[in-house]
Amino acid sequence: MDLATIGGIVMGFTLIILAIVLGGDFGMFVNPPSLLIVIGGTVSTMFIKHKMSEVFGSVGVLMKAIIIKQENPEQMISQLIDMANIARKDGILALERVKSDDPFLQGAVNHCVDGADPEFLEAVLNKELDYLGERHEKGVAIWEGVGDAAPAFGMIGTLIGLVQMLATMDDPSAIGPAMAVALLTTLYGSIIANVIALPIAVKLSAYSAEEQMSRRIIIDGMIGIQKGVNPRMLQEALKAALPPRLRDID
């Protein structure tokens, strides 16, 4: 679980609520028409831009930013070097007894055991990596779209409120509610975009980059194993993907 994501969202809303409570009545900042304009408009825009299944799936994408299995490239390299030693000592077919919790690595091992040549193995694994990146891009695009649409509908709500206010200038009692819609829609749109949607999109992009780096390590490692590269040389090559402070692994 990513406590940073949870903590950041909670802290952001806490600070906003605290500022509202300390500055006045919290009830003044609750306006159902404004919420309807921003949330309803943003969701409708997502349905226009994306498939319905992708929009509903964005909730699962959000959960991946909160509940995520962190990639551990150092551990992955160590596992690959252990496999390289097994293959060097007992042959490539000995990898059949190797089992991994990582589906991508296990699939690569299965291809090796089945006799795939290095060129075919590299092509298949790179294709899987490309598809993985495309799936991740769709999830990120939806949350980036929410970050773009929410402030836009906030502005639309502001314009609606201003029109209503100008149309009722002769009725002072109607000016306040109309002005509330005008200002609160902008506030709601900014909060949704800057506290939730855009930070989530950035976090998802970062996780995608980490996962793809881990997959590239697996590809390079399995190709090296299949080609019979010396395990020590293979380890040094794979460690190039790590930052300098993490390269002192056995």
Give domain status of residue 7, yes or no.
yes
pLDDT digits (tens, 9 = 90+) for 91-124: 888 888 888 888 899 999 999 888 888 889 999 9
Asked if the model's pLDDT at residue 218 lies above 90, the reply is yes
Give domain status of residue 32, yes or no.
yes
CB atoms within 10 A of CB 47: 12
- pLDDT category at 247 given cuts 50, 70, 90 is low
Give domain status of residue 101, yes or no.
no
Give, in order, the Cα–Cα distances in Å from 245 to each of 137, 237, 240, 249.
30, 16, 11, 10
Give domain status of residue 231, yes or no.
yes
pLDDT at 147: 95
- Region of poorest pLDDT, from 169-173, 195-199, 209-213, 220-224: 169-173
Counted domains in the chain: 1
pLDDT at 1: 64
Give yes or no for a contact between 197 and 144, defined as CB atoms under 8 angstroms apart: yes
pLDDT at 187: 93
- CA dist 38 and 151 (Å) reads 8
Give domain status of residue 92, yes or no.
no
Range of the domain at 231: 3-71+125-236
Give domain status of residue 142, yes or no.
yes
Give domain status of residue 115, yes or no.
no
**Mean pLDDT for all residues in the chain:** 87
Give domain status of residue 134, yes or no.
yes
pLDDT at 246: 67
Name which of 39, 36, 25 is nearest 196 in CA terms.
Answer: 39
